[in-house]
Structure 1
Amino acid sequence: MTRRTRARAARGASHVGERHVVEVGAVAHGGHCVARLADESGGGRVVFVRHALPGERVEVEVTEGTDGDTFWRADAVAVLSASPDRVQAPCPVAGPGLCGGCDFQHVALTRQRALKAEVVAEQLRRLAGLSVDVTVEAVPGDVDGLRWRTRTRLAHLPDGRTAMRKHRSHDLVPVDDCLIALPSSSSPSESVSAAGRSHTFQVTGDGFWQVHPGAPRVLVETVLAMLRPEPGERVLDLYAGVGLFSAFLADAVGAGRVVAVEGHPGAARDAASNLPCGVRVLQGDVARVLASTLDEPFDLVVLDPPREGARKAVVDRVVDRSPRAVAYVACDPAALARDVATFAAHGYRLDELRAFDLFPMTHHVECVALLTRS
């Protein structure tokens, strides 16, 4: 029996296992598309469908859903009318009821990026009231969307075989070769060349590092191009990790000031080792650090928060420092849109947005946003 990661009390009779034919609607945030049941038993209920594409007619099997739920979840188990963007998944364990690591292996790569762009634009429109044209850019370092993930967490079956988990489940699926994984060295250091400079970063334990090999360079160069740091400026790098942005920002501002704040103790220790002695590294929760110290103006701020975003307390305290510009690096478009709306309430506008396909074959997308005072 599948054990769901989000167990909750049943709200009426279960419909798991039922099959329905649906017309697939728009893509939604999370790696699925929206459909609506049209038959009598469904009553027009919204269903989030995986393994489908907008415009397709498919047969779905309900994977989560009771009478009392506002929406159900389902897998497309048979394609009755296929999209021209549908392709054969390169991985034999990508599909309904199989490995949950990828969302879009059944989608042509260019269409994957277009779908992600639609999601980013929709989140900004719905949560921030902004109409933004979004293009998701390819990043050097993968091969047709495969062999890019430098860090992969594999589970193990009792017989020793490697495995991955099913979508929203603890059940395991044997995986001999994860096609998005890139074999990497065991070296605890990473070297990055960007903007005419090179730095080597120590990354120990479970310290955060971008998993796409092309990500560090493209993100550093994008942040620097957006902020245009000048010698002597004061920079605040929040959720600084092991110091990727701080190192290159310190080069740019020279005799200026760079302060890096990181919550993870191990990453903060790595940052202290990686960064020049002139960069101040503070370890602690970003909101609490900003509430208790650094009560002074900064010219520039870099925000690279976890998936839940920076949230209002941090945005409010960033604005208190009166930066001329903020570069926001976001791995979740909904969190980005919510925080952009909070910045807008303080008079900061979204001036520029770039989106990068750092996670091909999945629904994830990385954005860098430039916010400046109106």
Structure 2
Amino acid sequence: MTSRTPTATQPQTGEAGHTGEEAVLDVGPVAHGGHCVARHEGRVVFVRHAIPGEKVRARLTDAGDGAKFWRADVVEVLEASPDRVEHFWRPADSLRAWSHGHPPVGGAEFGHITLARQRSLKADVLAEQLTRLAGFEQVPSVWTGGVEAVGETGDGGTGLGWRTRASFSVTPAGRLGMHAHRSDHIIPVREMPLASEAINALRLWDLDLQGVERVEVAAPANGSRPLVLLAPAPGTKEKRLRAIAADVPAEASVAAFDPLTGQVTQLRGRTWVQESAVGHEYRVTGEGFWQIHRDAPGTLVGAVTEFLEQGDFLHPGAVVADLYAGAGLFTAVLADAVGETGSVLSVEGAPGTSRDARKNLHSAAQVEVAQGRVERVLRQKPRNFDALLLDPPRAGAGKAVVGQLVESQPRAIAYVSCDPASFARDLGYFRRSGWQLTGLRAFDLYPHTHHLETVALLTPGP
């Protein structure tokens, strides 16, 4: 059944099709991206804020007449799953938000589900991607089939307060906010429960941010000085940015940054943060990449080194490479493992982050830091690798890079991924090149979101 009555926020153009209408849906299986699959009048609907098995009333948020599928948000639960709980954050609660005439903020789309069921759903997504995209007939036996909890000791099992980095938008009125999913609509916020106490304590929502389009915050888990990055709107003068910086609490450094070039300009204090992990210190400048869950660095490093050491691919004298190396999180640990008789090639494409890696690794003579595209550097610096480690961005490595990795003929490859779809796609490329999956673990490093992290070990086939 569909209601033809538009709400106050429904677009009034013919191009919107059925957008803004409501439909009663029987919710089917979870899908990659934070949705569940439902059907309405013969059409697939990807519905957010639902749980498989529920019956819901949903608002169609993207429902053009010519679209292959529609999107929707739950506005009322007619038959609830036993795994449904009250959402911990009002701006992200679809039921509350739409009752006030606007969509919920993104970034906590699983907050209405128990943590145990969240992990079960994430495992279902990974399993589906492995069979559909990687070409397995069934879930590979090297994986337990589960997604492992991380950080429960620190958060008391709530899944809150784990983010050491957070990204915000700014409303037209100059207030801190966040975007709704797939929308230009910005909703003001006055807390971020997934963020650490150090980020929330800055109370950036109390500031007048007019002249700024985006705010990035990094607050290292080691308690060192936070960094607030301001992305200015076109035409904003430095004087205005310095006025905003003066209102940021004194315990934080403040800098301006250009999201397109990555250029960072000091406004107060440092333009970088000092991170600590696995016995090493790391300088990370501006927007430079760092794992956002406070326990992610140790968790991922532990999984990678365990896989490589068990297969004797990582040992004193080994020749290894860290690809998409960032500021050198994995590189430093690999350097420890191979010792002075081994070598580590550390490859990062972003110039600023590569400069951080050089600073962080300057005392490790066995490390060579190379800035550039992974496939180009591997062609220019061929070696007899014992192991390659790659931790690519969400888009994955891609066919060309996988081809170059295979051509390098390492004894093993450790693949760290934050996206099950791109990982499964790349795994399919490896398998078609004769490689096999010999180890796989999945971690819940992003509680209350649909994201998960995987660590895989790949070896050449017999």
TM range (shorter): over 0.9
Answering whether residue 339 of structure 2 is matched by residue 269 of structure 1, we say: no
Answering whether residue 260 of structure 2 is matched by residue 260 of structure 1, we say: no
Instruction: Structure 1: state its 5+ residue gaps.
Output: 5-9
Answering whether residue 148 of structure 2 is matched by residue 137 of structure 1, we say: yes
Q: In the TM superposition, what are the counterparts of 1:142-221 in structure 2 within 5 Å?
A: 142-143=155-156, 144-182=158-196, 183=198, 184=219, 185-186=225-226, 188-193=273-278, 198-221=279-302
Pick the aligned partner of 2:32 from 29, 32, 36: 29
| Aligned residue in 2 for 1:125 | 131
Q: In the TM superposition, what are the counterparts of 1:1-374 in structure 2 within 5 Å?
A: 14-37=17-40, 42=41, 44-96=42-94, 97-130=103-136, 131-132=138-139, 133-140=144-151, 141-143=154-156, 144-182=158-196, 183=198, 184=219, 185-186=225-226, 188-193=273-278, 198-228=279-309, 229-254=314-339, 255-275=341-361, 276-291=364-379, 293-374=380-461
Whether the aligned pair in 2 keeps the contact of 1:57 and 1:80 (CA below 8 Å) is yes
Matches of 2:321 and 2:77 in 1, distance apart? 51
Distance 1:26 1:280, change over 3 A: same
Matches of 2:393 and 2:117 in 1, distance apart? 27
Superposition deviation, residue 21 in structure 1: 0.9
Mean Cα displacement is larger for which, 88-97 or 239-248?
88-97
Matches of 2:345 and 2:375 in 1, distance apart? 15
Q: Secondary structure at the match of 2:37?
A: strand
- Letter of the aligned partner of 1:78 in structure 2? E
Q: Secondary structure at the match of 2:300?
A: helix
Matches of 2:170 and 2:21 in 1, distance apart? 31
Matches of 1:211 and 1:232 in 2, distance apart? 32
Superposition deviation, residue 20 in structure 1: 1.1
Structure 1: 4+ residue segments shifted above 4 A? 10-13
Superposition deviation, residue 134 in structure 1: 2.2
Superposition deviation, residue 13 in structure 1: 6.2
**For 1:125-176, what per-residue CA distance to the aligned partner results, in whole angstroms no more than 9, with x for missing partners?**
1011222252111112444111111111122334443211111112111110
Superposition deviation, residue 18 in structure 1: 1.4
| Aligned residue in 1 for 2:261 | none
Superposition deviation, residue 95 in structure 1: 2.3
Matches of 1:11 and 1:123 in 2, distance apart? 36
Superposition deviation, residue 310 in structure 1: 0.5
**For 1:283-316, what per-residue CA distance to the aligned partner results, in whole angstroms no more than 9, with x for missing partners?**
012123234x122321100010011100111111
Identity, % of aligned positions:
54
- Letter of the aligned partner of 1:98 in structure 2? P
**For 1:19-49, what per-residue CA distance to the aligned partner results, in whole angstroms no more than 9, with x for missing partners?**
1111100000000100001xxxx3x100000
Whether the aligned pair in 1 keeps the contact of 2:107 and 2:449 (CA below 8 Å) is yes
Aligned length: 359
**Greater Cα radius of gyration, structure 1 or 2:** 2
- Letter of the aligned partner of 1:235 in structure 2? V
Q: TM-score, normalized by length of structure 2?
A: 0.75
Whether the aligned pair in 1 keeps the contact of 2:342 and 2:366 (CA below 8 Å) is no
Instruction: Structure 2: state its 5+ residue gaps.
Output: 1-7, 95-102, 199-218, 220-224, 228-272
Q: TM-score, normalized by length of structure 1?
A: 0.92
Whether the aligned pair in 1 keeps the contact of 2:36 and 2:52 (CA below 8 Å) is yes
Superposition deviation, residue 51 in structure 1: 0.7
Matches of 1:178 and 1:12 in 2, distance apart? 35
Whether the aligned pair in 1 keeps the contact of 2:105 and 2:187 (CA below 8 Å) is yes
Relative contact order, CA 8 A, sep 6+: which one is greater?
Answer: 1
Whether the aligned pair in 1 keeps the contact of 2:160 and 2:193 (CA below 8 Å) is yes
Q: Secondary structure at the match of 1:317?
A: helix
Whether the aligned pair in 2 keeps the contact of 1:11 and 1:68 (CA below 8 Å) is no
